[in-house]
Structure 1
Amino acid sequence: MPMFFYLVFTPFWPLPVLYAAWFVLDWKTPEQGGRRSAWVQNWRVWTKIRDYFPIMLQKTKDLSPEQNYIMGIHPHGILTFGAFCNFCTGATGFSNKFPGITPHLATLSWFFKIPIIKDYLLAKGVCPVSQSCLDYLLSRKGTGNLVGIAIGGVGEALQSVPHTTSLIIRKRKGFVRTALQHGAHLVPTFTFGETEVYHQVLFPEGSFMYRIQRMFHSFWGFYLCVFYGRGFFQDFWGLLPLPKPIITVVGDPVMVPKIENPSQEIVDKYQTLYMEALKKLFDEYKTQYGTSKTQELLFL
C-alpha cells in the first residue's frame, strides 16, 4: 500500500488519483452485497489450496433458492480456510451442490476501508458483517441468498487449538434476531479439521502478552494470535498450515418464521433450536472425520 501512494509523486500519479476517486464513488457497494467476480472465484490457485489440505464440502440437505439463509460458520479457527475455500471460491463445487444459492461470507467491516483489499474481498463474494449489509442481502436482493457468519468471531480465534471443540455462541443472539426479522432460515455448519492446521501459543490471562493481545483487539477489532505450522522445507516450524483434511459439513436448516420485532423469549427459543441442530450435526459426523467419539461440543 505505501508503494501505491508513492505513485502520487511520480509520472504515474493519475493511477492513484483515479483509484481514489473510484474508491469514494464505490463506498456503498460493500453494504449492498458486493461485486463478485466469477473469474476471481475460479482462479486456479484455489484448487491448489483445496488440494494442499485437502478441503472438502459435504452437503446433507438441499437448500431451496426460494428462501434466504444465515449460515453459522463453526469453528472460527485461525484463518477460516474452510469457509473461504468453500464459500468464496468455486474450488469445492458449491454452486453445483447448492444450485440457485448465492453465498456471501461476512467479515469485519473495516477490511472494506482498505484500498485494493476491498476490491479483492468483493470479487470473492465477501461482505461486511454489518446490520445494513445483512438487511440488504436478506430483504432487498430477492431470494437464494446465503450469508455465512463466523458466530464465535475473533474471540473464538484465541481458542483455536488442536483437538478442541469449544464454541462461543451462548451470548451471540444478534444473528438469530436478524434471521427472525427477515424470515431467513438458520443453517448450521461445522468444519472438521479447521483447528488442526496450526499450533497456537496461548498466554495466561493477566500476562504481558495477553494484555498486548487485548490492546490489539481494542484497537483493530481482532486478536493478534501467535501461531505456527510448518516451514517451506521442513515440517516442525513455519507459517505454512499443516496439510490436514478440512471438511465443512452443511447441516439441515432450522426453519425460522418472519417476525419483525421478535421478543427475547422467541430469540432464545430459536437460538436453542439452532444449537441443538449444530450439536446433532457434530455428533453425527465427528467419528467419520477424525474426532473422538467421546468428544463433546462445548457452547460458551
Structure 2
Amino acid sequence: MVSFSSLSVQLERHLQTLAVILWILSFLVLSQVCTVIFVSLFFTRFWLLSVLYSAWWYLDRDTPRKGGRQSKTTKQWRIWKYMADYFPISLIKTAELDPTRNYIAGFHPHGVLAIGAFTNFCTEGTNFSSVFPGIRSHLMMLTFWLQLPFFRDYIMKGGLVSSDKECVSHLMSKEEGGNLLVITVGGAKETLDAHPGDYTLLLKNRKGFVKLALIHGASLLPIFSFGENEIFDQLNNSQGSWLRSIQDRLQKIMGFPLPIFHGQGIFQDRFGLLPYRHPITTVVGKPIEVEQNTNPTQEEVDRLHQRYMTELCSLFEAHKTKYNVPPEQHLKFR
C-alpha cells in the first residue's frame, strides 16, 4: 500500500521537475516565441496589438537601463520555491548588509545557465528578502535580451537589468541605498569552463566592475556559488582543443558561446536537458568597503581588484570543505 506521505513526496518531486522544465524552456525558447508572436500579429486582424505594443516598447525603451521594473508578486510565485527545492538551492550570508548602502556583487562561477544567480537574486525561491532585509537585488543581463518584445517585460519583473554602464550609474547613485547589483563577472564566456569539479574563473582581466565600484563608492561583495558547475556535464572542450577553438570563434561571431551540455532526462537520470539534482549553495561574502573616487587611476583599480580576488579566494577556502570540495582544490583565474 502506498502511504499518503509517499504520494505527497512524489507529487512534490513532480512539481519541482515541472518548475525546472518550464524555466529551461523559458530560457531556451521563450524569447523566440515572443518575437514570433509579435511579428505574426501584424499579419492578422489583431495587428493593432503589435502596433500599440511597438509604441509602448519605444516609450519604455530606457527602463532596462534605469533599474528595470521588478515585481514583488512575480518574485514570490510558488514555482520559484519548487525550482529551488529541486536541487536544492540555498542562500548563505556571512555578514549583514547595510540597507543604507549600495553594493556591486561579483557572482562566481557563471555555470551553464546561471541558475544559482537567477534563483537567489531574481526570485524569492531562497527567501532573499528575509535573508537580506531592506536590500533590493538586481541581476545584470546582456542588453540584447532586454530588447526583445514581450520577453523583456517578463524578465524585468524578476529584477533583470541591462548590462550598461548607465544602468550601474542609475542604481548606484541612489542616495537612499539598499540596491544590490549582481554581475556574473565571467559572463557567458565562462560557461565553457563550467565542468563538474572545475574551479576556473574568468576574472584576471575583468576589472570593469571594480572600477565602477570605485567611481560610485559602492561596496564590493564577493559571491561564490558551490555546486553551480555540477548540475550539467559538458563535452571535453579544454583550452587548445578543436572544439574549444570552434566555440571561441562562434562566440566572436554571435556574441555568446555555445556550450554542448547535458544533464538528466525527465523519466531517467542518464541523459537529457534537465539539470542534475545536485545541491547549489550560494555563499555571500563580507562587503569590501570602497571609498568613492570618480576618476580612479589604473593602479588604484588594480589594487582593489587584487584585494577582491584575495577576498574571493578566502571565501572559497573557508567554505569549500562544507560543500564537498576536496581540500586540494583551489580557485584558478584566467
1:30 maps onto 2:64 in alignment? yes
User: Bigger CA drift: 208-217 or 195-204?
Assistant: 208-217
In the other structure, the counterpart of 2:331 is 297
C-alpha distance 246-39 of structure 1, shift in aligned 2 (>3 A): same
Q: Secondary structure at the match of 2:83?
A: helix
Which runs of structure 2 are paired with 1:142-291 in the superposition (5 Å)?
142-203=176-237, 209-291=243-325
Instruction: Report deviation, 1:216.
Output: 2.9
Instruction: Report deviation, 1:260.
Output: 0.7
User: Bigger CA drift: 254-263 or 219-228?
Assistant: 219-228
Deviations 1:43-100 (A, max 9, x none): 1111111010000000110000111100010001000111100000011111111111
Structure 2: which 5+ residue stretches go unaligned? 1-34
In the other structure, the counterpart of 1:89 is 123
TM-score between the two structures when normalised by the length of structure 1: 0.96
2:220 touches 2:287 (CA, 8 Å); kept in 1? Answer: yes
1:60 touches 1:251 (CA, 8 Å); kept in 2? Answer: yes
Q: Secondary structure at the match of 1:202?
A: coil
Q: Hey, what's the Cα distance between the residues in 2 that align with 1:177 and 1:156?
A: 21
Q: Hey, what's the Cα distance between the residues in 2 that align with 1:284 and 1:193?
A: 15
Instruction: Report deviation, 1:210.
Output: 3.8
2:121 touches 2:128 (CA, 8 Å); kept in 1? Answer: yes
Instruction: Report deviation, 1:296.
Output: 0.8
1:50 maps onto 2:81 in alignment? no
Q: Hey, what's the Cα distance between the residues in 2 that align with 1:299 and 1:211?
A: 20
Q: Hey, what's the Cα distance between the residues in 2 that align with 1:222 and 1:203?
A: 16
Q: Hey, what's the Cα distance between the residues in 1 that align with 2:170 and 2:132?
A: 21
Q: Secondary structure at the match of 2:155?
A: helix
Instruction: Report deviation, 1:150.
Output: 0.7
Instruction: Report deviation, 1:168.
Output: 1.1
In the other structure, the counterpart of 2:7 is none
Q: Hey, what's the Cα distance between the residues in 1 that align with 2:231 and 2:241?
A: 26
1:77 maps onto 2:111 in alignment? yes
Instruction: Report deviation, 1:3.
Output: 3.2
Q: Hey, what's the Cα distance between the residues in 1 that align with 2:244 and 2:312?
A: 31
Q: Hey, what's the Cα distance between the residues in 2 that align with 1:118 and 1:178?
A: 25
In the other structure, the counterpart of 2:102 is 68
1:17 maps onto 2:17 in alignment? no
Aligned-residue CA RMSD (Å): 1.4
Instruction: Report deviation, 1:227.
Output: 0.2
- The one-letter code sitting in structure 1 at the alignment partner of 2:139 is L
Instruction: Report deviation, 1:269.
Output: 1.0
Sequence identity percentage:
45
1:40 maps onto 2:42 in alignment? no
Total equivalences in the alignment = 300
Q: Secondary structure at the match of 1:149?
A: strand
Q: Hey, what's the Cα distance between the residues in 2 that align with 1:288 and 1:201?
A: 28
1:107 maps onto 2:152 in alignment? no
Structure 1: which 5+ residue stretches go unaligned? none
Q: Hey, what's the Cα distance between the residues in 2 that align with 1:140 and 1:95?
A: 19
> Going by fraction, where is helix more abundant, 1 or 2?
2
- Give the 4+ runs in structure 1 shifted more than 4 A: 204-209
C-alpha distance 297-205 of structure 1, shift in aligned 2 (>3 A): closer
TM-score between the two structures when normalised by the length of structure 2: 0.87
2:215 touches 2:292 (CA, 8 Å); kept in 1? Answer: yes
Q: Hey, what's the Cα distance between the residues in 1 that align with 2:127 and 2:82?
A: 14
